[in-house]
Homo-oligomer: A and B are copies of this chain.
């Protein structure tokens, strides 16, 4: 197992309380009360767990050196005191997406959908960490974890709305939107 593996466990207890779990497209995910985030595998799962989603942080797949420099200069760390809100957004893309060559995927992601550029506009308000699940045989290709302060809840809504309106998102065939708030005192 990679030490870059993260497990997101939906169950009855955990640091993050689920306030909304919405299937955006495709098969839904069972309801749960909380999400626990673990760096590593979770086995055995806690009793009454509803699901466990896994992914690894990895090297960048599309970002250029120039974009990387801009991201690095602006992106905040996770776990800021004021970031009481979070979102976990599991996404799966179609086989047609994965069959595209690298330059075609890059053209759709950035030249035509401005995914990286759009994300930059929301830094440093929104912190994020991307996890890859496809090569692990997970049900979702990507798990993106976002953290932000309650004051930026509207900003976050705008970000996900903009991304979902892009050409890139026409290749998404399963997506769940899980919104969370940090349990008091944690």
Residues of A within 8 A of B (CB): 1-5, 56, 58-65, 67-68, 98-104, 106, 132, 134-137
With A56-B135, A135-B58 known to touch, is A101 a contact of B4 (CB < 8 Å)? Answer: no
Residues of B within 8 A of A134 (CB): 2, 58
Looking at the complex, which one of B98, B103, B135, B137 makes contact with A132 (CB distance below 8 Å)? B135
Whether the Cβ atoms of A61 and B60 lie closer than 8 Å is no
A1 touches B61 (CB 8 A): no
State whether A101 and B65 are in contact (beta carbons under 8 Å apart), knowing that A135-B2, A137-B1, A137-B2 are contacts in the complex: yes
Copies of this chain, whole number? 2
Determine whether the beta carbon of A101 is less than 8 Å from that of B67: yes
In the assembled complex, 13 residue pairs joining A and B whose CB atoms fall closer than 8 Å, in A order, are A4-B137, A5-B137, A56-B135, A56-B137, A58-B134, A58-B135, A59-B98, A60-B101, A64-B102, A65-B101, A65-B103, A65-B104, A132-B135
A56 CB contacts on chain B under 8 angstroms: 135, 137
**Chain B residues within 8 Å of A101, by CB:** 60, 63-65, 67-68
